[in-house]
Amino acid sequence: MHGKREIEPIAVIRNDFREKFGIPRQSGRVESILSKIIFEPRYRVAEALREIEGFSHLWLIFDFSEVKERDFSPTVRPPRLGGNRRVGVFASRSPNRPNRLGLSLVRLLRVEEAEGLGKTLIVGGADLLDGTPIYDIKPYLPFSDSRPDAAFGYAEAPLSHRLSLGLGAERLSPLSKDQREAILACLSEDPRPSYQDDPSRIYSMRYGEFDIRFRVDGDRFDILEVVRV
């Protein structure tokens, strides 16, 4: 019988998501989000990335590091189902799981040499908080990883729900073009819990050094204020 082996992060992800609110619920939904994967010193070895640029997408195995430790619960309440319908934890992608491990599919954009950090990976479409520990990276293989005929279960219904921009696009002018595109794409995904539908409520999304305040009315969101924090 094999003994237990502790796993350790091989890398950390860096991006503009400073808080969980606003992060897309699944990877790949907003590919304009740019992130950098920085390897820990022990794994900062160029040979470990040999031929990685031949793959367009990568799987990231990561730690839901901001989730508080709690007793095992066999069921969870996905926000997209209104917050009051329970499903089995192993029939969900909830971060509240026994080992807090997550799986994210990202697009590999390029490999960059960073001073003092060795080779880093620039990826698009991550759904991870800034500073999230990465435990492993594996190439995505479409001939085995893609199943177009797979059933979605209860996750199928919310796919078509999107918001359109109403007023306030000009308030994003202090941000870079990449940041503006990422924010608009994230807001169009409707980051609110599905049980919140108050058109007078003001929401706040932290992105980089900015606090984006917005309101949702029907299928439209208005950007009310952008504040540097």
The whole-number pLDDT of residue 160 equals 64
Cβ contact 22:163 at 8 Å: no
**Structure tokens of 65?**
């590091």
Rounded-to-integer distance, Cα 23 and Cα 1, Å: 41
Rounded-to-integer distance, Cα 37 and Cα 104, Å: 13
The whole-number pLDDT of residue 224 equals 97
The whole-number pLDDT of residue 28 equals 82
Closest CA to 120 of 65, 28, 46: 46
The whole-number pLDDT of residue 200 equals 92
Residue whose entry in the numeric block shows the structure tokens 């990449």: 178
Rounded-to-integer distance, Cα 222 and Cα 214, Å: 6
Domains and CATH numbers, the chain: 11-65+100-145 (2.40.30.70), 161-228 (3.30.2310.20)
Rounded-to-integer distance, Cα 135 and Cα 157, Å: 32
Q: What predicted TM-score, i.e. pTM, was given to this entire model?
A: 0.89
Rounded-to-integer distance, Cα 15 and Cα 34, Å: 7
| Per-residue pLDDT tens listing for the chain (229 residues) | 566 778 899 999 999 999 989 888 888 888 889 999 999 999 999 999 999 999 999 999 999 988 877 788 899 887 767 667 889 999 888 888 888 899 999 999 999 999 999 999 999 999 999 999 999 999 999 999 998 898 888 776 555 678 999 999 999 999 999 899 999 999 998 988 777 788 999 999 999 999 999 999 999 999 999 999 8
The whole-number pLDDT of residue 70 equals 78
